[in-house]
Every structure is written in C-alpha cells, then in structure tokens.
C-alpha cells in the first residue's frame, strides 16, 4: 500500500490527462505519473472545486507538488485497483486498518500521509453516486424491486444502450406510471464530437414518447419530451447546451461544477412539473 511503490500493471509511467479546458500550458494539461502518489496529486489538484483554473495550473506545473487530499487519493486508489487485480486484493485487506506511512519526500511536509491513506480507504465505497446504475440492465432490474414511484426524470445516455436493456427499462417506467404521475425525458449534454449518436438517441426517445402517449395506450401520466424539441433547434438556455458544444476533452469525465450546472438547468426546466430541491456539492 506504499504510495511510492511502482506497480508493473501498466498504469504508471504514462501521461495523466486533465479534462480542464482552461489549462494552457502543456505541462499542466498532461503530466507523467510514476506512482500512486503522483497520480493522487494530479487527482487532488483537479478536484479542488474551490480553486480557480489558474491556481490549478500553477500547482500542476510544480515539479514536486505535494498537494494531496483524501478524496484525490481515493480516486487514484480506485483507478489503480480497477487496473490491477493484485492491488485490488491488497486494498480489500487494507480496509478498516489504520496506517502509518513513511516519508514520501526527502524534506518535511505538513501532511500526515498515513492518516490521508486511512481516510482514502474508508472513502472508497462513497466515491460513486449512491444508487446510480452502471448500465440500463441494472436499472431495469431495480424498477422491478422498488415500490411504485410517480415521478421520473430520465436523462438518456450519450451512447445507444443495448436494445433489450432499453426495452426492459422503458417497460419498468410504464409499470410505475400506468396509473398517473409525471415523466420527463432529457438529453445528455450535447457535444460536437458526438452529434450523430446524440441525434440518433433523440429520435429513439421521440419514437418511445409517441408510442407511450398514443390514444390506444391509455397512459395516464404526464409525459414531457425535452429531447426531441432540441434536435433541430437547440436554444442556449436548454440544459443540453448549458456546457457549450465542446465541454470536455475526448471521453474524459465531466467535472463536478459541470454536472452541478447541468442538474440545476434541468431542475429549473422541469420546475412546473416536478419540484426538486436545489442541487449543491455534498461537502
């Protein structure tokens, strides 16, 4: 579990790319990481929500930055355990233990690395959204086990899911809302690099809404399609466009503040149909 251990799984000795569009210097946008400590350093800096992009760039350009947070270390540990089976087993054995860690630099730093590692291990089960489904098959199964819910907001994915999983999910939605309620469909954030797939997903959404609300279905729920209405003309006030046309680098994850902005735009758009509390960071 030592942060300076150079594992041979192939994760280290490579460039870590940061999905922060405002970064200008190449040494800040991409940084070579040799071990878990350096990967955690990059993750810790990029996830500092209250830092401006300028401060992040300055810290990333430092040759020996020692900025480290428990959350950033947890993200690095999670990335490593997904890549390396041996390390994943070591992480499972390490959970619940308290660690003392030797010095990671030849000079003193004001950071208890052992305490940071102990906290990061305890956070591993909480770094993903609670209750979020990794695919539509899991989501479809969940619809069968939970009590009836009368309000749903569906943000469709940016890639076409498996047809069987999609069909099962939509059947589950229909089961919950057959006797009334509210159902709103939204697109994922628009991206120029994914325009064709994004529009194809919108056409599928339109077909399902037309089928669900047809006169022969006797479907009592109110259905709002906020996807099809932006396929040909997308106003900048729509949630799909709130992040711009090129919001991230390739397929890198959206940043926390981008997700928050998207959710707030979604909440305001659907406010006359479904009342939601304002979204904010958990801490």
107-118 residue pLDDT tens: 677 778 888 889
Percentage of residues in the chain having pLDDT higher than 90: 36
Cβ proximity of 115 and 47 under 8 Å: no
Measured CA distances, 3 to 16, 96, 177, 262 (Å): 17, 18, 50, 35
List strand residue ranges (DSSP E) for the chain, in order: 14-17, 30-33, 151-155, 182-186, 222-225
pLDDT digits (tens, 9 = 90+) for 32-60: 999 999 999 999 998 887 788 899 999 99
- Mean pLDDT to the nearest integer, 172-196: 90
pTM value is: 0.58
* Cα–Cα distance, 173 to 244 (Å, whole number): 30
Highest mean pLDDT among 125-134, 165-174, 232-241: 165-174
Q: What is the mean pLDDT of the chain?
A: 86
Cα–Cα distance between 46 and 6 in angstroms, integer?
22
State the SS3 of the chain.
CCCCCCCCCCCCCEEEECCCCCCCCHHHHEEEECCHHHHHHHHHHHCCCCCCHHHHHHHHCCCCCCCCCHHHHHHHHHHHHHHCHHHHHHHHHHCCCCCCCCCCCCCCCCCCHHHHHHHHHHHHHHCCCCCCCCCHHHHHHHHHHCCCCCEEEEECCCCCCCHHHHHHHHHHHHHHHCCCCEEEEECCCCCHHHHHHHHHHHHHHHHHHHHHCCCCCCCCCEEEECCHHHCCCCCCCCHHHCCCCCCCCCCCCCCHHHHHHHHHHHHHHCCCCCCCCCCCCCC
Instruction: Report the C-alpha gap between 204 and 170 in whole angstroms.
Output: 12
Most confident of 84-88, 122-126, 175-179: 84-88
Looking at the predicted structure, is the pLDDT value of residue 101 above 90? no
Burial call 67-84: b when 16+ CB within 10 Å, e when fewer: bbbbbbbbbbbbbbbeeb
Q: What is the pLDDT of residue 264?
A: 94
Structure tokens at 29: 């946008």
Q: Provide mean pLDDT across the span 156-168.
A: 85
| Mean pLDDT confidence for 172-191 | 90
pLDDT category of residue 129 using cuts at 50, 70 and 90 = low
Out of 35-39, 217-221, 235-239, the most confident range is 35-39
239 within 8 A of 266, measured Cβ to Cβ: yes
């Amino acid at each position: 579990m030592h942060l300076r251990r150079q594992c041979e799984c192939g994760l280290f000795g490579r460039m870590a790319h940061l999905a922060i569009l405002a970064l200008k210097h190449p040494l800040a946008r991409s940084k070579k990481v040799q071990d878990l400590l350096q990967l955690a350093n990059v993750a810790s800096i990029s996830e500092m929500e209250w830092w401006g992009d300028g401060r992040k760039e300055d810290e990333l350009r430092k040759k020996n930055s020692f900025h480290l947070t428990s959350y950033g270390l947890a993200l690095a540990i999670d990335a490593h355990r997904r890549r390396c089976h041996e390390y994943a087993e070591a992480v499972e054995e390490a959970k619940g233990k308290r660690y003392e860690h030797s010095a990671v630099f030849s000079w003193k730093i004001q950071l208890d690395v052992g305490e940071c590692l102990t906290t990061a291990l305890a956070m591993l089960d909480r770094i993903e959204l609670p209750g979020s489904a990794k695919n539509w098959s899991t989501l479809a199964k969940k619809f069968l086990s939970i009590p009836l819910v009368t309000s749903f907001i569906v943000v469709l994915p940016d890639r076409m899911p498996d047809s069987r999983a999609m069909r099962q999910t939509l059947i589950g939605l229909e089961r919950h809302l057959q006797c009334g309620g509210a159902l709103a469909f939204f697109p994922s954030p628009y991206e120029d690099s994914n325009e064709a797939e994004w529009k194809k997903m919108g056409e599928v959404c339109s077909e399902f809404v037309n089928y669900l609300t047809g006169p022969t279905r006797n479907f009592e729920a109110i259905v709002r399609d906020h996807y099809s209405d932006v396929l040909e003309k997308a106003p900048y006030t729509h949630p799909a466009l709130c992040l711009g046309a090129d919001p991230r680098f390739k397929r890198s994850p959206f940043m926390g503040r981008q997700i928050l902005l998207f959710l707030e735009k979604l909440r305001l758009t659907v406010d006359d149909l479904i009342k939601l509390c304002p979204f904010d960071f958990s801490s």
